[in-house]
Chain A
Amino acid sequence: MPERSTYKTTTARRAPRDEGFVQDEQVILEGVDISGQWNKMYEPREIVDYDLTHLEELTAIPGAESMGWCYQCAQCIPACPVDTAGGDYGPRKIFRRLQTGMDLFDHQDMWLCTSCQNCVRVCPKEVDMVEIMPAARAQAVLDGRNVPGELLEMFQNVAEYGNPMGESARRRTRWTRKAGVDIRLLPKNPGPVDVLWFVGDYYAFHNRGVDAAQAMARVFSRLGVDFGILGVDERTDGDSQRLAGEPGLFEEVAEHNLEQFGKYEFGKIVVSGPHAYNAIKNEYPRVSHGKTGGDTYPVEHYTQFLAQQVDALAPLLSGSFARKVTFHDPCYLGRHNGEYDAPRRLLEAVPGIEFVEMYRCKAQGYCCGGGGGGMWLDGFAAEHQMERLSENRVKEAVEVGAEVLAVCCPYEVSRFEDAVKSTDNDGKLEVLDIIEILDACMEPIGEGVA
């Protein structure tokens, strides 16, 4: 915890204005006499004492200390996607509100951060919202203090069913039936594979995610990838639950998934989603499970895995995709994990494509609003923002003239498709997972499979 003095300002005696200039003050600075008349520019500022109870309550939480380091430079505000979407938000504003009496535990500000990390990128004081918010939220969840119902329902679903939708675990493999290619279910058919594909909830359960999952299976199959999936034994990666304030739930699902990983022999894990990538790469190694400590597994996002094989992939892309395409960088693949090139390399390999960047891209990419639990806070966020982040983003895609918004995060297809409709861009912009574009450009396989 920082010393109190790092953020507490002290009261200085102020020269009353009606006394005019301060006369004949004797000041020696580094041996130089700078005495003289002080004009108002140098008049002592009016500073008051703040009641720091709420700020100190927050910064006392392990992980949330850096909230106190803010010196109000406000570089974070234009970087904050929530503020941009009319949410009156950002670390500087939160600090100021805490200083002037806001109890974060009673305030919507607790739940609006999407943990996109764009503020951390510009913050000179290293105020780290990605650490602060999950820690503060965990306390709120533990104490049952004003946690939005939508979020609690999602936690409950994960606790009960292992996925945020509350779907039966047995339906996790339903999508495989119509993929058109054989998919090895490791629990039924163990044995070594090169790739353990961690499919993820949205690919397994969401109707648009299923399209992408099936496309992925077909692309893997055409490339001859030796892969298997955990099927009904897979659970949500837990990253969003951790960021939304349920570390215990994160640990529970992580322990479960680690236990499954431990059962099979495989070369690497390939994930569909940036959150799963972040969790398995950066968070799972810290989770102890069973008698061992955390396990580190080689993990790649699917765009990374495929980009490495782009030479083998390119000849398979026999079709043409003659459309103007832009790409949305997922926060947890890009800013959080530094991968900007792999998705672009895949798109560049697509014949006929006209690629256009959005204004806010790569390290400065704009958040879709789904991170940090935002995926399950749409109703809550709508009450406190002028628009959804996904809507803001979709407008940008349209503005740069894109016909297709390509994504590579399973949360995003549904988010952006919703936003396309609500911003009246139906028919103007199509949202597709990169894997769907690749699949569409390859020779059809699995024809005739119902």
Chain B
Amino acid sequence: MKIVVLMKRVPDLVEDLEVDGSGKALATEHLKLTVNEFDDHALEEGLLLKETSGGELTVVALDAADVDKMLFTALAKGADRVLKITGAANVEGNTGLAAVFEEVLSAQEHDLILTGVQAADDRDGQLGPIVAALLDVPCVEVVTQVEVGEPGEGMVTVHKEYSGGVVAELEISLPAVLGIQAARQSPRYAPVSKVRQIQQSATIETLAGAGESSGAAAGGGSGFSVVEMTAPETGAGAQMLAGVDELMAVLEAKGVV
């Protein structure tokens, strides 16, 4: 089975995010990117599937800050191939990114496409369902478990989670896209010694993405602009309450009682 994991780098929420002078975009000066945590789960689930059912796992990502380290880490964890798409840095949103991924996937063998269920910067929807719609393959979001059917059946059985812990079991014909909420186990750790070793020996395959033009052609770009970006109101430190009465009022205002 050919497993493809789509990964993207997103602003690191550990950092203080700052809005730039235009008030419409993140300030890039101190912006640190990190792997979308759900993509990390998608990779883990993919690796587990590969280990139990065999196959080849390819990770695809757009060129971005520190993407090489992320891809070498994926190799250290057990990915077979890593693909970096260059020249498409200007694609906008998941719509634009999905168009680039669609182009790449059209040229790559794929049975199962895994990606994170969502990301912190999903302004224009989630990557998985957009890619699926462009490829005209089915997609299931919020997946917590994947089982591969018998060889030749061309299907997987997944658990899709609803709120309150209710889970739907769904059978999906391949090829398909799955938006992974959580892998069966927490993403494995790639020892730095191993990553460093792989950095010396392995290579990252690069593919030139068609960039802006292809995104536009495929209806790419989120198609809508940002009006403003603001931090929600939060006080510095706690607002001190005088007693239980006031606390009760807060709980009522927050709708918890």
Q: Interface on A for B, CB 8 Å cutoff?
A: 138, 141-142, 144, 147, 149, 152, 155-156, 159-161, 166-168, 170, 246-249, 251-252
Contacts and interface: CB of A to CB of B under 8 A. Distances in A.
Interface stretch (B156-164, B174-182, B190-198): B190-198
Nearest to B66: A160
B52 interface: no
A142 B191 CA distance: 6
Given A149-B186, A152-B189, A248 B16 contact: no
Given A144-B189, A155-B189, A156-B189, A248 B195 contact: yes
B34 interface: yes
Contact of B14 (A147, A167, A247): A167
18 contacts: A138-B193, A141-B191, A142-B191, A142-B194, A144-B188, A149-B186, A152-B189, A155-B191, A159-B192, A161-B14, A168-B14, A170-B30, A246-B191, A246-B192, A248-B196, A249-B191, A251-B192, A251-B196
Given A160-B34, A170-B30, A248 B192 contact: yes
A53 B32 CA distance: 47
Contacts of B193: 138, 142, 246-249, 251
A109 B147 CA distance: 35
A142 B32 CA distance: 28
Interface string B110-139: 000000000000000000000000000000
A249 B196 CA distance: 9
Given A141-B191, A246-B191, 4 more contacts: A152-B189, A168-B16, A170-B15, A249-B193
Contacts of A251: 192-193, 196
A166 B14 contact: yes
A155 B73 CA distance: 14
A168 B15 contact: yes
Interface in B23-55: 30, 32, 34
Contacts of A166: 14
A147 B189 contact: yes
B16 A170 contact: yes
A173 to B, nearest CB: 13
A159 B69 CA distance: 11
B212 to A, nearest CB: 31
Classify chain B: how many residues form its interface, as a range.
10 to 19
Nearest to A250: B192
A142 B77 CA distance: 10
Contacts of B14: 161, 166-168
Contacts of A138: 193
Chief secondary structure at chain A's binding surface: helix
Contacts of B191: 141-142, 155, 246, 248-249
A115 B193 CA distance: 21
Most A CB contacts (10 A, CB to CB) among B15, B188, B192, B196 go to B192
Nearest to B195: A248
A170 B188 CA distance: 27
A251 B193 CA distance: 9
A247 B195 CA distance: 12
B196 to A, nearest CB: 5
A288 B53 CA distance: 42
Contacts of B188: 144
Contacts of A159: 192
A246 B194 CA distance: 10
Which 5 interchain pairs have the tightest Cβ spacing? A248-B193, A248-B192, A249-B192, A152-B189, A168-B15
B194 to A, nearest CB: 6
A81 to B, nearest CB: 28
A147 B190 CA distance: 12
A252 B34 contact: no
A134 to B, nearest CB: 12
Contacts of A161: 14
B81 to A, nearest CB: 21
A147 B185 CA distance: 14
A144 B76 CA distance: 12
A33 to B, nearest CB: 62
A167 B13 CA distance: 11
A24 to B, nearest CB: 64
A251 B195 CA distance: 12
Most A CB contacts (10 A, CB to CB) among B30, B186, B191 go to B191
Contacts of B196: 248, 251-252
Interface string B2-16: 000000000010111
A158 to B, nearest CB: 9
A62 to B, nearest CB: 14
A248 B34 CA distance: 20
Interface string B59-103: 000000000000000000000000000000000000000000000
Contacts of A156: 189
A144 B193 CA distance: 12
Nearest to A165: B14
Nearest to B196: A248
A249 B192 CA distance: 5
A248 B69 CA distance: 14
Nearest to A158: B192
Contact of A252 (B30, B189, B192): B192
Contacts of B12: 168
A23 B192 CA distance: 66
Contacts of B195: 248
B15 A248 contact: no
A19 B108 CA distance: 80
Nearest to B192: A248
A149 B189 CA distance: 9
Nearest to B34: A160
